[in-house]
């Protein structure tokens, strides 16, 4: 069973990335028969980051984050998307068999341009590049957060269109796998996202973390009055970390008016801080051994390249271009 997922190097990873995606990625490594491919989606990031040093810095940061959170390079192939340029060749082939209507229905393009991101051709074609990432390794399962589900469905359509156009079952239709928490709210209550300025970073600590958690938007309730439990961001985030008993206690305190938002946020803060402390320590160690980190990426590129070259050769053959190896 082949599994693939990617994360864009567009900034520091946050709780949404972790509970929506990365935690699942790490857990799936342990499943029997799982053949995991995880990558840094740097071609995708080029639509928003057009500064070489910043792109490099973010790519390193995503790598350190994955390794610190438990990605095991022995079990998983971990690589930079731009180290396997065959994905861009397949992107072109898929573009040729994809209707405009399919791409025009993409929510993420509309959401991103509505948020002020420049509507470039690359941003519009992005689901084709993403389909290529998935199809080029013949992934069966794609573990992502809810916002990416539509893109995986588009990849299914493109696999079908490609196979139908060329009359051969070359590409595999992937299935989307959502985590138990596919839509983590940000500090403003909307979906947590690097592009929405509402994130709590995984590796934030001390004053910065405190400022962020204490700044979570809440409703206005008089001291001593019960707090609403429905749609409360503090409670939603606390759920990600707390045991069933701790959650029940917090909910009871909300209902009885036994806690104010300040104290609820302090409980959440303590949880976030403690939960990621071991990973923070691992990250520090990795930072002191960057040649190991580079080795991981080099080895990942080599292993991913074997798979992507085999697929592109098949695709070249059925399209009529012919193999180049």
Q: Which residue ranges make up the site for ligand ADP (CB under 6 A)?
A: 7-8, 10, 16-17, 20-21, 144-145, 147-148, 182-184, 191-195
Contact 203, 279 (CB under 8 A): yes
Identity of the residue, 139 or 193, whose beta carbon is nearer to ligand ADP in the bound complex: 193
Closest-by-Cβ residue to ligand ADP is 20
C-alpha to C-alpha distance for 156 and 171, rounded to whole angstroms: 9
- Smallest gap from Cβ 318 to ligand ADP, in A, equals 30
Give the bridge partners for 144, in sequence order: 178
Nearest to 135 by CA among 151, 122, 121: 151
Q: Which residues, in sequence order, are CB contacts of 114 under 8 Å at separation 6+? A: none
Residue among 20 and 312 whose Cβ is closer to ligand ADP: 20
Q: How far is the CB of 193 from ligand ADP (least distance, A)?
A: 3
Give the contacts of 263 (CB within 8 A, at least 6 positions apart): none
Cβ proximity to ligand ADP: between 81 and 193 the closer is 193
Least distance in angstroms from the C-beta of 174 to ligand TRP: 8
Single out the catalytic residue among 30, 110, 115, 191: 191
Residue 229 structure tokens: 């439990």
CB nearer to ligand ADP: pick between 28 and 259? 28
User: Which of ligand TRP, ligand ADP, none sits in contact with 29, Cβ below 5 to 8 A by type?
Assistant: none
Lookup: tokens for 182? 């596919």
For ligand TRP, the nearest residue by Cβ is 6
Q: Which is nearer to ligand ADP, 73 or 145 (CB)?
A: 145
3-state secondary structure of 132: helix
Q: Which does 44 bind (CB under 5 to 8 A by kind): ligand ADP, ligand TRP, none?
A: ligand TRP
Q: How many CB atoms lie within 10 A of CB 277?
A: 10
CB of 169 to ligand ADP, least distance (A): 27
Rounded to the nearest whole angstrom, what is the least distance from the CB of residue 81 to ligand TRP in the complex? Answer: 7
Mark out the alpha helices in the chain (DSSP H runs). 15-17, 23-28, 42-45, 52-68, 86-97, 100-104, 107-114, 121-136, 149-166, 206-214, 233-241, 244-256, 261-275, 277-287, 290-319
- Supply the minimum distance, in Å, between the C-beta of residue 25 and ligand ADP: 9
Q: List residues binding ligand TRP (CB under 6 A).
A: 4-8, 41, 44, 130, 133-134, 142, 144, 148, 151
Query: What residue 182 binds from ligand ADP, ligand TRP, none (CB within 5 to 8 A, per partner kind)?
Result: ligand ADP
Concerning whether 285 is annotated as a catalytic residue, the answer is: no
265 among known catalytic residues: no
CA distance 188 to 178: 23
List the single partner that 134 binds among ligand ADP, ligand TRP, none, CB under 5 to 8 Å by kind: ligand TRP
Contact criterion met (CB below 8 Å) for 297 and 63:
yes
Q: Is 210 a residue of the active site?
A: no
Toward ligand TRP, which CB reaches closer, 134 or 240? 134
CB 257 within 8 A of CB 227: yes
The catalytic residues are 112, 191, 194
């Amino acid at each position: 069973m082949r599994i693939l997922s990617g994360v864009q190097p567009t900034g520091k990873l946050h709780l949404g990335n972790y509970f929506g995606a990365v935690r699942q990625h790490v857990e799936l490594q342990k499943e029997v028969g799982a053949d995991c491919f995880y990558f840094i989606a740097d071609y995708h990031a080029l639509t928003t980051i057009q500064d070489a040093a910043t792109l490099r810095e973010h790519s390193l940061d995503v790598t350190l984050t994955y390794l610190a959170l438990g990605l095991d390079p022995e079990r998983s192939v971990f690589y930079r998307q731009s180290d396997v340029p065959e994905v861009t060749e397949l992107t072109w082939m898929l573009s040729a068999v994809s209707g405009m209507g399919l791409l025009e229905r993409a929510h993420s393009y509309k959401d991103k341009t509505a948020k002020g991101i420049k509507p470039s051709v690359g941003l519009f074609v992005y689901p084709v590049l993403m389909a290529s990432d998935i199809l080029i390794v013949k992934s069966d399962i794609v573990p992502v957060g809810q916002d990416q589900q539509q893109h995986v469905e588009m990849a299914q359509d493109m696999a079908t269109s490609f196979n139908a156009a060329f009359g051969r079952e070359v590409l595999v239709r992937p299935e989307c796998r959502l985590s138990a928490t596919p839509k983590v709210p940000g500090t403003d209550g909307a979906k947590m996202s690097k592009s929405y300025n509402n994130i709590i970073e995984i590796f934030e600590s001390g004053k910065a973390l405190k400022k962020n958690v204490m700044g979570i938007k809440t409703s206005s309730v008089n001291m001593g009055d019960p707090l609403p439990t429905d749609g409360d961001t503090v409670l939603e985030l606390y759920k990600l970390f707390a045991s069933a008993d701790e959650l029940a206690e917090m909910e009871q305190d909300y209902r009885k008016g036994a806690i104010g938002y300040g104290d609820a946020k302090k409980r959440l803060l303590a949880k976030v801080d403690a939960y990621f402390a071991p990973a923070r320590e691992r990250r520090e160690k990795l930072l002191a051994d960057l040649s190991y980190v580079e080795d991981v990426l080099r080895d990942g590129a080599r292993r991913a390249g074997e798979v992507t070259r085999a697929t592109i050769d098949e695709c070249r053959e059925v399209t009529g271009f012919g193999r180049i190896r």
